[in-house]
Amino acid sequence: MVTIVNYKERQKEDGTEFFVLELQGGIEMVKSKETGNFYATAKRAYIPSTFTEDVCESLIGTQMPGGIVKEVCEPFNYVIKETGEEITLNHRWVYKSEEELQKPKATTMPEQNVIANSEVFSKNGILEPTM
């Protein structure tokens, strides 16, 4: 389940404005690599909308089925606002519907050519154990 917690105004390349909804997942407990202590956090994602600002504001607090998951993407630079440090990320957080979350993840198996070996089959029709 995700909750609409805010909205933001964005601008397209052609200058037209639109609003994105800020979605937040449930609370998660994460253990700090530095201190070993736990802290509470929640994943966030933004999705574009066709709504007016008034509608976006009225949607704050609305819960929707689904979740926020990590998705691999092309590397990009990101500046941490608090420290000014620039880092490179190769993932983003995206919203997935309940149906998408329940689909089994596709695993890519390397393509293998299979070559039959006729030596493993009986030539006389009698199965004989090997010694």
Is residue 32 over pLDDT 90? no
- Position 130 scores a pLDDT of 60
Chain segment 60-116, per-residue pLDDT in tens: 999 999 999 999 989 999 898 888 899 998 999 999 999 998 887 666 556 666 666
Tell me which residue of 75, 97, 77, 74 sits closest to 87, measured CA to CA.
Answer: 77
pLDDT (tens digit, 9 = 90+) per residue, 96-107?
A: 999 998 887 666
